[in-house]
Amino acid sequence: EAGVAQSPRYKIIEKRQSVAFWCNPISGHATLYWYQQILGQGPKLLIQFQNNGVVDDSQLPKDRFSAERLKGVDSTLKIQPAKLEDSAVYLCASSPGGNSPLHFGNGTRLTVT
């Protein structure tokens, strides 16, 4: 089966600019996650979708971050405006739900200068 697809792989922007990341989960996976992985740290959950509804966005900085999964399939994560501390790898993962494991994409590496 095809894995979780993410684009772009790399992005460099200046602070205060906006940026968007795209994720296409494995076909049929109802649950989709966005994680932020800052250099030297473990991934931190930003938001979790179940189909097109948000299950958990308690750690999403809502003043600048937004995410959507309008048709319950692919998802976009947006940052506006970006700050230097947003430099990180943004990982998307999907799961069929229940006791099934998460499948991760290769991530988007964001550098904010």
**Site residues, another protein (CB under 8 A):** 4, 31, 40-45, 48, 55-56, 91, 93, 95, 98-102, 104-107
Helix/strand number for the chain, H first, E second: 0, 11
Given the complex with another protein, which of 57 and 68 has the nearer CB atom? 57
Given the complex with another protein, which of 10 and 113 has the nearer CB atom? 10
CB of 16 to another protein, least distance (A): 28
CB of 104 to another protein, least distance (A): 4
Given the complex with another protein, which of 52 and 106 has the nearer CB atom? 106
Helix (H, G, I), strand (E, B) or coil at 66: strand
Q: Which residues fall within 8 angstroms of residue 94, CB to CB, at 6 or more apart?
A: 4, 25, 26, 29, 31, 32, 33, 102, 103
CB of 89 to another protein, least distance (A): 9
Query: What is the β-pairing status of strands 53-56 and 10-13?
Result: unpaired
